[in-house]
A and B are shown apart, each in its own frame.
Chain A
Amino acid sequence: MATIIVVTSGKGGVGKTTTSAAVSMGLAQAGHKTVVIDFDIGLRNLDIIMNCERRVVFDFVNVIQGDASLNQALIKDKRCDKLFILPASQTRDKDALTKDGVQQVLNQLKQDFEFIICDSPAGIEHGAQMALYFADKAIVVTNPEVSSVRDSDRILGILQSKSYRAENNMPPVDEHLLITRFDPARVIKGEMLSIADIEDILAVKLLGVIPESQAVLNASNNGTPVILDEKSDAGQAYQDTVARLLGDDRPHRFTEAQKKGFLQRVFGG
């Protein structure tokens, strides 16, 4: 039975594509045949993060409109043979996605894959609604910041009322909170919302905490999902996140600030 997971947020630039790339690679590395779909029609990014931009011939919209077969459009990852990418169209607009079209593609993918990861565009409009509509699980990516938390709450409202599961009185979409760009030192200083604050407001179970990390930028420069940078804090935090998705019970790491030396504490820095 295939599981459809949407990576969503409402607010833009919070780390959805970074997360989609990391989680899909992690699931594939754990031996699960996984496909990651870029729903950001017109603004595709996932192909860059996955380092397959020059291999894109056909895209998601071509498949929906019958101009290409799914097999022609799917790109096999060079690092992991269990991972496939379905790129977004660069030239169309989001209205090219229809419920029927998306459903047909997903149904076909379900025959072949264990996990289908949907990388949502920002916003709460059509594109984002198409990305989440058929989801079984949702990873709600949230930054510790007022507007991001607020938008996450709105996306949760949409998952609970406008998803396929909601409209057909099925068990609700399984919601998971992923806090990204977290900086524990700033929480201690009282400058940033804490994990407990965010959990308290959103009331969704916490899947993981990804620290603010230089490794993410390095990874995107190189076109490698950050989860492959096994020495980095963000890479390890994503490893834990994937393990939890697969049912492992792991403690959260990188949530406390590094202990400072005495001089640092007195004089700051």
Chain B
Amino acid sequence: MSIFELFSRNKEERSANVAKERLQVIVAHERRARNAPSYLPAMQNEILAVIRKYVEIDNDQLQVDLNDDGNCSVLEVNVNLPK
């Protein structure tokens, strides 16, 4: 790292770290989606429509995951409502 870079560094996080964090989230999500039943996207869409009857939310404020922990599956629905 040169003295020129020293000053511009650290203000913004190193982009490789950002890349790794984004990848961990994307990959974990896609691995779950891969094993999920095919009705999940449609169901997610309907849940979104129901919520939107009452509050306006963005696609990424709803998280629907099906987690398999051995003897039963857990459907996890997370909704982030705007303040």
Give chain A's interface residues, CB within 8 Å of chain B. 145-146, 149-150, 153-154, 157, 161, 187, 189-194, 197, 200-202, 265-269
Contacts and interface: CB of A to CB of B under 8 A. Distances in A.
B16 A192 contact: yes
Given A146-B19, A190-B16, A193-B20, 15 more contacts: A146-B22, A149-B23, A149-B27, A150-B26, A153-B27, A157-B31, A189-B1, A190-B14, A193-B19, A193-B23, A197-B23, A201-B20, A201-B23, A265-B1, A267-B4
Interface residues of B, number: 19
A268 B2 contact: yes
A187 B2 contact: no
Given A146-B23, A201-B20, A267-B4, A191 B30 contact: no
A153 B30 contact: yes
Contacts of B20: 193, 197, 200-201
Nearest to B34: A157
Interface string B25-43: 0110011001000000000
The majority secondary structure among interface residues of chain A is: helix
A150 B30 contact: yes
B3 to A, nearest CB: 6
Contacts of B16: 187, 190-194, 197
10 contacts: A146-B22, A146-B23, A149-B27, A187-B16, A189-B5, A190-B17, A193-B19, A200-B20, A265-B2, A268-B2
A187 B4 CA distance: 18
Contacts, number: 58
Contacts of A200: 20
A150 B27 contact: yes
A194 B2 CA distance: 20
A265 B4 CA distance: 10
B15 interface: yes
Contacts of B23: 146, 149-150, 193, 197, 201
Contact of A153 (B15, B17, B31): B31
B5 A268 contact: yes
B78 interface: no
B80 interface: no
A267 B26 contact: no
A266 B3 contact: yes
B2 A154 contact: no
A268 B7 CA distance: 13
Residue among A157, A190, A200, A268 with the highest chain B CB neighbour number at 10 A:
A190
